[in-house]
Chains A and B, each alone.
Chain A
Amino acid sequence: MMEMNMVQAINAGLHQEMAADPDVVVLGEDVGRVGGVFRVTQGLHEAFGEERVIDTPLNESGILGTAIGMALYGLKPIPEIQFADFIYPGFDQLVSEAAKYRYRSGGEYTVPMVVRTPFGGGIKGGLYHSQSPEALFIHTAGLKVVCPSNPYDAKGLLRASINDPDPVLFFEPKRVYRAVKMEVPTAPYEVPLSQAAVVRPGTDVTVVAWGAMLYEALAAAEQVAGDDQIEAEVIDPRTLWPLDLETILESVRKTGRLVIVHEAPRACGFGAELVSLVCEHAFVHLQAPPRRVTGFDTPFPYALEDDYLPLARRIVPALRETVGF
């Protein structure tokens, strides 16, 4: 065990996986000598050399497209997209190629790669360094979408993602990168994909949140527990897709209420899918309309970042209203 933040935990995980398996390679912009703009890949270059820690030209489609080729050959590439906001130039490679390769080859070819990318707001990154595009990829059949919220999960989910035979998009909440520290095992371990975590047990309302927003949901839950005697059960899906729906349904069947918190814009966000799924599978248990507390249907604002993000102060009234419905 060692006290680590998320950057250190992911870095340790990458070191371990690369040491254990010569097929694991890391590629991306500035991932080599400098260790990535967030230093997540620091030290890998020295340890494993420039053939396996590849500083690529600046082209996201090229990074993802060549990673797909490497994966088809039998490597386990881990491309890094510097910020999730820059994934769009590589969008086609992800949704048309990586996601479809297994399907279109009748299962003969597979693309076992893990695309790591920091996402989300809260670091004054402005419009182009703050986006949360997870819904676009959840909508794409063939991709898996993982989003750890703490260092322990990050290391364990990373290992599970690398060992998964399908392409995984690994969204790292950059606001959490250095803000949260916890004990992390130094030995390798897996946090299985598609298993949600009940982070805070409760009886009155189910709150689903991921990434950095999990902490806002927890703060809101603490506040209403003290102020209103509302016990919120907070669930972190950890893997957004394929989803562990059962854990969420079980909670909703108990609490009868659902509030979803995400940074991304609301329209067609993952919250919309969660509401639909819960309505389809647990409608008779609902005692109040499900609520979403989300970003706005606008681009991400620089100056009003704290107003855009669904911080605890916006979650608290949603919890009160849902329970008081």
Chain B
Amino acid sequence: MPRARHLASVPANERVTSLDERAWQRRRSPSGQTSELPTQVPRELKLRLYRAMLLSRRLDERLMALQRQGRIGFHVGHRGEEAAILGAAAALRPQDWLVPCYREFGALLYRGAPLSAYLDQMFGNDADPAHGHQMPDHFHSKAHRCLSVSAPIGTQLPHAVGIAYAARLKGKDDVALVFFGDGATSSNDFHAALNFAGVWRAPVVFACRNNGYAISLPASKQTASDGFACKAVAYGIRGEQVDGNDALAVYRATRDALEAAAAGEGPTLLELVTYRLDAHSSSDDPRFYRSDEEVAAAMAQEPIARMQRALFETGELDERADEALRNAVEAEITEALRVAEERPKPALDTLRKDVYAHTPWHLRGTT
């Protein structure tokens, strides 16, 4: 079984060794190569992954437009990070747990959650599984073993470790895959989680999307260390830097890490090096902190065109099939959006629901 590489085993010329801005520049610019796509990945999986990436991309674009029109309140997407998120999601087995940050709706959909449920949450309508209690993109789905999105950064990391610990105690081989951004690596809970996971050898995979920024802050202002994967060393766990714009490389690394965790070999920290093409969220204006040239350069290496090129090269996809796929995705989104937007707001009494299992006296009545 192939193993995720320990950072120490990564050849020095593949690692970022200096702390200067150029090094970070390289880190923010994953290679545009398409030649390394593993050939052992079945075509069906590649196409499923590609379709999921297309769906996520178009959802992002459509939702951002809806937000601009005032039809939804907020959106935080993953345009540009599709390979990192969906490549990792594709490696999950049904029994594994997805512990999201807030950009991973694509991973939830990949697991089979209905698009309608995600959009119901986006609109906060009466079918929203969260009863309109949370702002958009704060989704969950117990049926798909996806925990609930929390706004406070980093808090989900120890939950993943607890899930993993509990699974092992119950004699199951479930693994928890937890997503977070580079900014989250500065949070207390990142360090708590890696430390607990290391000591407990918990079956958990930490997937850090190094998308270059935490709102306006470049990753170089987040840490003085040599990237993020190296932080694994201090906690006695495996760490690996992965080209996060290469969906199949992410898939392979995540699969290896999950397999290792399930086999009792403990946690792995993956640093998925990618780039956030959009603003941090619909509330952010990235022109204040980064240049158009930088975004254009990143755009040239964005993961969907790259996957498309690879599939064209291997003959696993042609232009006609590609167009058919895109049209199908578009139609699916249009119909799901129409239905979700037409639904009414949740009933007033949902305001007081779900605070406790049983509603105490002080939450009854109207005042």
Contact = CB atoms under 8 A, between A and B. Distances in A.
A68 B133 CA distance: 20
B147 A103 contact: no
Nearest to B195: A57
A59 B189 CA distance: 9
Contact of B159 (A69, A106, A242): A69
B10 to A, nearest CB: 28
B129 A106 contact: yes
Interface in A104-153: 104-110, 141-142, 144
Contacts of A51: 169
B134 A108 contact: no
A243 B131 CA distance: 26
A97 interface: yes
Contacts of A165: 357
Contacts, number: 146
Interface in B142-192: 142, 147-148, 150, 152, 155, 157-167, 169-170, 176, 188-189, 191-192
A138 to B, nearest CB: 11
A242 B155 contact: no
Contacts of B147: 72, 109
A104 B353 CA distance: 10
Contact of A242 (B130, B162, B167, B361): B361
A73 B163 contact: yes
A70 B159 CA distance: 7
A105 B150 CA distance: 10
Contacts of B142: 105, 108-109
Interface stretch (A6-14, A31-39, A88-96): A88-96
A223 interface: no
Given A89-B188, A103-B133, A65 B162 contact: yes
Given A194-B360, A242-B361, A105 B158 contact: no
A301 interface: no
Interface in B316-367: 353-357, 360-362
A165 B356 CA distance: 8
User: Chain B CB within 10 Å — which of A57, A73, A141 has the most?
Assistant: A73
B159 A65 contact: yes
Nearest to B155: A97
A162 interface: no
A127 B22 CA distance: 49
A108 B144 CA distance: 12
A112 to B, nearest CB: 9
A153 to B, nearest CB: 20
Nearest to B134: A104
A61 B187 CA distance: 11
20 contacts: A25-B169, A57-B195, A57-B196, A61-B189, A62-B195, A65-B155, A69-B162, A69-B176, A70-B163, A72-B162, A74-B170, A77-B162, A97-B150, A106-B131, A107-B131, A108-B142, A109-B142, A110-B357, A194-B360, A242-B362
Given A69-B164, A97-B150, A105-B148, 13 more contacts: A25-B169, A56-B196, A59-B195, A62-B192, A69-B166, A72-B147, A96-B150, A97-B159, A103-B133, A104-B140, A110-B357, A141-B355, A142-B356
